[in-house]
Amino acid sequence: MAFTRIKIDHRIMGGLPCIAGTRIPVAMLVRMIASGTPVATIVEEYPQLEEDDIREALRFAAANIDQRVVPLDQSA
């Protein structure tokens, strides 16, 4: 599945997935939706976003939730 509205660039927000052309992380949008913030409110607070950006952020999160993350042992 292609995510044309999501960009990952190590120079932007430390490589976090963001809405293309912004510094708005996908994770922040997912947290806002999860906490009950309506999409219309998010678009009002972030006028550079469109509702389709938020929908794609949710699809991106859903597509990537099953990826395994192996924590590195930082005690070494």
**For residue 15, is it within any domain?**
yes
Q: What CATH number is attached to the domain comprising 30?
A: 1.10.10.10
Residues 6 or more apart in contact with residue 55 via CB below 8 angstroms:
none
Count of structural domains, the chain: 1
**For residue 38, is it within any domain?**
yes
The answer, yes or no, to whether residue 76 has pLDDT greater than 60, is: no
**For residue 71, is it within any domain?**
no
Domain of 31, in residue numbers: 6-64
**For residue 31, is it within any domain?**
yes
For the segment 3-52, what is each residue's pLDDT rounded down to a tens digit? 999 999 999 999 999 999 999 999 999 999 999 999 999 999 999 999 99
Q: pLDDT at position 33, please?
A: 98
Q: Which amino acid is at 28?
A: M
Residue 55: pLDDT band with limits 50, 70, 90: very high
**For residue 41, is it within any domain?**
yes
Among candidate residues 65, 57, 12, 67, the one with its CA nearest the CA of residue 30: 57
**For residue 1, is it within any domain?**
no
Backbone angles phi, psi at 63, to 5 degrees: -70, -25
Contact 27, 16 (CB under 8 A): yes
